[in-house]
Structure 1
């Protein structure tokens, strides 16, 4: 594990949407410098409590960024090398890490490469990615493809980034990543790599691939689903499975990203947003916040062409220009991130269920470095938890303006975090 990653809290941005880029590539020779708009948000990110930017695709592409044309060129809709270098420098000046989105499973049809670089089907045609005709799958058995990916990764690491999110990692043979990462790490031992896994044997794939982390979709689903169904047994089961991953690696955890309905839209009861965030920041993992979730932005993903647009909107030039700011939710994030940063051991913590009913859950995390107790109540009545709180003090709660006389009595639809002082 890369030591600095244990302290990472990512602000996840989809750049093409964030800056209001055109939906398709610009005509040859045209360029619009927009990456600088992100620089205006860096202090906002620092104040939120995050320590890094997880950037979606920034390379030249045909449309949405995941149909890459050239891995060595910044998308002209965003700018050029100078614009990118300026963003990296501004981030580094503030101590922010940078993660880039590497789409190395598939490319655009206009990607120029020899035929052997592409996966051939028995009928001689080129395989496409999950039915998307405009996305051609690379042949990961071809040595030249492996060398290309190594070259791309090292090129951008040399320009100052700190690691890679590997898109659709699950579709690539794990052995391919093992071969690539072994060479990249020889030159950049401090680089960090997280692979997008949606289902399957997380731990087994991570072990074979040597990825540092994987996207924890199972926990994401259990968080919102258990809150909507008022069934904490689902979350307890998912956390038990989540804990099994923490020994070999630390999963990348989230309640929202560029590919799913926003958490504020996903939850049936808006009172439970704090519960979802409290879980995210109280259990093991390397958490990320999808840009806008900290403002309770709404957005529903739909299974159609353009179905991601609602969750990938344009942002204003500056935070002060937000049309409908929700600073209460921003401050909620700040409080919980503050708890996380004061208890950095939580990244690799062990979490056990201390009490469980359908609508009430107590989670106890900790080791010799500290202890944390999370109490969640989604019932319509106040609930008194039969758990031990000796040595713990209130660190965060659903109602920050009220100091309860009895911390074990959690109000209806409330939550409470207690930790060692």
Structure 2
């Protein structure tokens, strides 16, 4: 894992939605230079405390960005390669790293190699790039059956057993790293054979040893996937689910269980942690009780991991994901021209993010910090994070009344609200108000 990732906090942007691009691209569309709309937001990301910009798909695609047409071209709805270069330069000038979204499990039906298959049949030059099944007695123009991503016929799965596909993906990754990107998020990484990633990432690492690679993995053997593929990390969906579910059900045992599993992952790698992203209902909408939003953020910024903040969550944007066509629109909205146009109601949550990111910067060892259960009940919990000097305690109360909790050796309240008694001693205790939370230094 590159050393710089230990201090990374990502601000994740879904570009096509952010800039208000058309829902569908058109063949021959001249570039519309919208990537520049991100420039006024880079200082905002720095003000927030982020050290990197994690971009959703920017390569040419037919609709939502995950049906790629050309991996070597910027989507003309966003602009062109010069616009990308300018964004990289602007990010660099502010000390921001840039992470790209790599869609290598599947392509769109308009991907040229697949379009030739539909036109020319099994004799097409790159027919072996796809997993095809041709009907008997076919006539010219007969469409084959083909593997697709999770039943979506517009997303044609690549044949990862074909060596040319590995060559192609490695070239794409290296191309954009050479153009200034710092790493890749591998979309649907769980659907691709591990041996494929091992081969491709081995080549990419040889040329770009400082690149960061994180795979999108929903569930399964996180540590095994990292070990067998050469990825630096995977997305920590287990913890994401446990955070909002435990808060909604007022069952902190679920959170404790997830943190214990998280400790095991940290023994092998450092996961990408989040409470929101471009594929899920926004955390402010996911929580049944808005008073528990700070609790979710406090967990994110104290536990081990590389934190990622989905753009808008730091302003308590609302949005519910729906499993239908267009069901992502509410969680991928267009943003105003600049941060000054944001509604003032989101400012308190923004300031809370700033405070918690600042706390994390003061305690860099939190990147690999394991959680230790100190007190646990359905509606109250105290966890310790880290060892030795610089340890922190996280105390949570989900109840409708104040809670008196142990806080052994706690010296001061770093964030949140609590009354600390006998601070600095093994007998230290704290009082949290109803629905309160606090982070304390030890």
TM exceeding 0.5: yes
**Structure 2: segments with no counterpart, 5+ residues:** 114-125, 136-143, 422-428
What do the CA deviations read for 1:178-206 (whole angstroms, capped 9, x no partner)?
Answer: 11111101110000100000011111111
- Which residue of 274, 277, 296 maps to 2:297? 277
- Which residue of 261, 267, 273 maps to 1:253? 273
Do residues 99 (structure 1) and 114 (structure 2) align?
no
Could you tell me whether the CA contact under 8 Å between 2:393 and 2:407 is conserved in 1? no
Q: Secondary structure at the match of 2:219?
A: coil
Do residues 211 (structure 1) and 211 (structure 2) align?
no
Deviation at 1:29, TM superposition (A): 3.9
- Classify 1:393/1:221 alpha carbon distance in 2 versus 1 (closer, same or farther; 3 Å): same
Q: Secondary structure at the match of 2:407?
A: coil
Comparing 103-112 and 201-210, the one that deviates more: 201-210
Matches within 5 A, 1:111-260: 111-113=111-113, 114-121=126-133, 125-260=145-280
What do the CA deviations read for 1:128-173 (whole angstroms, capped 9, x no partner)?
Answer: 1101011000000000000001000000000111000000000000
Do residues 381 (structure 1) and 401 (structure 2) align?
yes
Deviation at 1:120, TM superposition (A): 2.8
How far, CA to CA, are the matches of 1:241 and 1:85 in structure 2?
A: 40
Deviation at 1:369, TM superposition (A): 4.6
**Structure 1: segments with no counterpart, 5+ residues:** none
Comparing 220-229 and 108-117, the one that deviates more: 108-117
Residue in structure 1 matched with residue 78 of structure 2 by the alignment? 78
Could you tell me whether the CA contact under 8 Å between 2:412 and 2:420 is conserved in 1? no
Q: Secondary structure at the match of 2:72?
A: strand
What do the CA deviations read for 1:335-376 (whole angstroms, capped 9, x no partner)?
Answer: 111111110100111211110000001110112352010000
How far, CA to CA, are the matches of 1:323 and 1:33 in structure 2?
A: 26
Residue in structure 2 matched with residue 287 of structure 1 by the alignment? 307
Q: Secondary structure at the match of 1:40?
A: helix
Do residues 416 (structure 1) and 438 (structure 2) align?
yes
Comparing 319-328 and 226-235, the one that deviates more: 319-328
Residue in structure 2 matched with residue 6 of structure 1 by the alignment? 6
What do the CA deviations read for 1:366-387 (whole angstroms, capped 9, x no partner)?
Answer: 1235201000000111111123
How far, CA to CA, are the matches of 2:84 and 2:252 in structure 1?
A: 44
How far, CA to CA, are the matches of 2:15 and 2:212 in structure 1?
A: 21
Residue in structure 2 matched with residue 404 of structure 1 by the alignment? 419
Deviation at 1:405, TM superposition (A): 5.4
Structure 1 length-normalised TM: 0.96
Residue in structure 2 matched with residue 51 of structure 1 by the alignment? 51
Q: Secondary structure at the match of 1:136?
A: strand
Matches within 5 A, 1:52-71: 52-71=52-71
Residue in structure 2 matched with residue 89 of structure 1 by the alignment? 89
Deviation at 1:311, TM superposition (A): 0.1
Matches within 5 A, 1:7-22: 7-22=7-22
Q: Secondary structure at the match of 1:33?
A: coil
What do the CA deviations read for 1:263-308 (whole angstroms, capped 9, x no partner)?
Answer: 0000000000000000000000000000000000000000100000
Considering only aligned residues, what root-mean-square deviation do their CA atoms show, in Å?
A: 1.3
How far, CA to CA, are the matches of 2:226 and 2:296 in structure 1?
A: 26
Do residues 38 (structure 1) and 58 (structure 2) align?
no
Which has the greater radius of gyration? 2
What do the CA deviations read for 1:38-66 (whole angstroms, capped 9, x no partner)?
Answer: 01100100010000000000000000000
